[in-house]
Structure formats: C-alpha cells, structure tokens
Amino acid sequence: MYPETADIETSSADYAKRFSGPAGEWMLKIQEQIVTDWMKSLPNATILDVGGGHGQLAIPFARLGHPVTVLGSDATCGLRLQNEKYITFKTGNVIDLPFPDKSFDAVMCIRLIPHCTRWPELIGQLCRVARQLVIVDYPTIQSINVFSSSMFGLKKKLEGNTRPFTLFKHSEIMNEFQKNNFEKESCRAQFFLPMVLHRKLNSPALSSCLEGLFRMTGLTALFGSPVLLEMKRQ
C-alpha cells in the first residue's frame, strides 16, 4: 500500500454520486470549460492526470483526442476509465510518480491535494514530470470554507458521503510551486457559494444566476472556492 491513497475514494462509484444529477453535471462543466480554455495553447498535448480515476478531466480530454495517462493508487481507480480508448491507466505512488522528468506536456491533479497529507511532495512530483503546465485545484481558507470545520456535521447530514479536507492559503500553494520553478499563469475561483448548497438546490439555472451575481460583484474572485490554478514552468 502506498503512503498516500486518497484517490481510491475519489475514483469510486460512491464519490461519483456527488456529481450526479443536474447540479453535479453543471459543476463539472464549469470546471471542464475553464481547463479546456487553458489547454487551447497546447493542442494534442500529452496529459498525465494524477489521481484522476474519477474521470472528471481525463475523459473529456481523451475524447478531444489528447493522449491521456491516469495514475491511480490502486487498480480499482481505473474502473471508470475502462471504455475510454485514448486513456492509459497505470498504478503507482502519487508522491513518487513512476515517470521520468518532463514526461508529459501537461499534468493535472483534481480533487486530490486537499486530501493528501504530504501535499508538498505531491506538488513537487507534479512539477517534476511536467514539461510545460501543471493544473490543480484546492479549497481556500479565504472563502466561506473557513466555516467548514464547525459545519462539518451538518454537511455530512446533507451529503452523507463527505469527508474532512485541508484548506489552504493561496500563498501556501504558490510557494510550493515556486520552489519547483513554476509560476502562476491563470487562476479561477469556481464558486462563491458552497458546493453542498448547489447540490441541494439541484437547479443549474438558479445556481448559475446566483453565481453570476457574485462573479459580477467580484466576490467570487476574492472569496470563491475551490480554486483552479494553472502553473507554467519557468
């Protein structure tokens, strides 16, 4: 067993239920559109998706024709990807990636950093194997998430299958990337309101309206979460 295996849960069918239905599909589409816009500068790029057995980005990018490799901590992490012809699945240690330096044009890591206790090592490995870009997401303490600890019991009642996660200051994440010679290219906060609220509303039209208002006022840019971050090798 590898020392960090949080991706086993995020690759499971139970975790996928968190993004089922209209609200879940709407949230995933926002994530996908942001990353797709960033990747336009790298057509046909080779992609490594670390912990990406959930398929949230691996599947859409494979269907766009990108050669995608997904690294999972266990063979079960690849079950959701079996029918995707442009995806290669490998098992390995997420904090000691089994690939040479600069093996892939772009490296992605979604839904993993906040559940990885040795996240600085994870970031170091993402940077090591990326030729050009690293794309990650993380929840920030500079958001409504600051109340997540005190509200965890209520959130678990509402969602059932939630789990604790680490909140980060933007500077913490940036500093680790800078240590590895990567600088910020783009940064987008996805939502101002907690994702659990959007799941319970289950109305993409209403959620889009609410989030549109917060984005227009600048509140999402200041206090939104989770944050999608595009880092470029210097």
Query: Which sequence spans correspond to the domains of the chain?
Result: 7-233
Query: Which residue in 68, 160, 79 sits closest to 110, CA to CA?
Result: 68
Question: Cα–Cα distance between 26 and 199 in angstroms, integer?
Answer: 10
Please tell me the predicted confidence (pLDDT) of residue 225: 95
Please tell me the predicted confidence (pLDDT) of residue 156: 46
Please tell me the predicted confidence (pLDDT) of residue 148: 52
Question: Cα–Cα distance between 141 and 186 in angstroms, integer?
Answer: 19
What DSSP state is assigned to residue 226? S
With cut-offs at 50, 70 and 90, classify the pLDDT of residue 153: very low
Mean pLDDT of 28-35: 98
Give the bridge partners for 80, in sequence order: none
Please tell me the predicted confidence (pLDDT) of residue 152: 40
Please tell me the predicted confidence (pLDDT) of residue 164: 77
Rounded to the nearest 5°, which phi and psi values hold at 140? -110, 145
Superfamily of domain 7-233: Vaccinia Virus protein VP39 (3.40.50.150)
Using a pLDDT cut of 70, give the percent of the chain over it: 92
Greater pLDDT, 114 or 149 = 114
Give the other-Cβ count within 10 Å of 20's Cβ: 12
Residues 84 and 60 sit within 8 Å (Cβ to Cβ)? no
With cut-offs at 50, 70 and 90, classify the pLDDT of residue 151: very low
Give the other-Cβ count within 10 Å of 216's Cβ: 9
Q: Which two tokens stand for residue 98?
A: 């089994």
Pairing of the two strands 87-91 and 104-109? unpaired
Burial of 178 (0-12, 13-18, 19+ CB in 10 A): middle
